[in-house]
Amino acid sequence: MFLINAVASFITAFTSTVFLLLRIHFRFLPLTLLGLFLLGRRGKHRAAIALARSGIAVFYGWWNPPYLALLLVSIVLNFLLGGWLVKSSQGESGPRRLFLAIGIAANLGSIGYFKYANFLSTI
């Protein structure tokens, strides 16, 4: 019985993933690329960048909305940390290196947690 449930769960997850990928590859991606191409040809580069950024957000939100929140929080924190590092580039390098190491560790920690936590909980 366990094997049948495992196979059924795999098939369900696989087919839903395949159909999601088909929707993304044959609807969303061509429309986004067309928009980027048209905006780029008209010289509206800032609008093209905004479309690319919003396209990434829509892509992640479509796939898994909680990950979109994680991505946005990570982007904001990295932006703030980068701004602080640039502003403090004239001072001592000790605190800058410490905050850079904390930022890198936080990014790698969040990637590791969200990538492997589910796997490690099954062991």
96-112, pLDDT tens digit by residue?
888 889 999 999 998 88
Q: Among residues 93, 96, 20, which one has the least CA distance to residue 60?
A: 20
Burial status of residue 45 (CB atoms within 10 A of its CB: 0-12, 13-18, 19 or more): exposed
Q: What are phi and psi of 88, to 5 degrees?
A: -95, 20
Q: How much of the chain is helix, strand and coil, in % rounded to 5?
A: 90, 0, 10
pTM, 2 dp: 0.61
In the block, residue with structure tokens 């001592």: 92
Distances (CA, A) of 9 to 27, 61, 83: 27, 23, 46
pLDDT tens-digit series, residues 40-96: 899 998 998 898 888 888 877 877 788 888 888 888 999 999 888 888 777 667 788
Cα–Cα distance for residue pair 32/44, rounded to 1 Å: 15
In the block, residue with structure tokens 């061509």: 30
Domain ranges of the chain: 1-63, 65-123
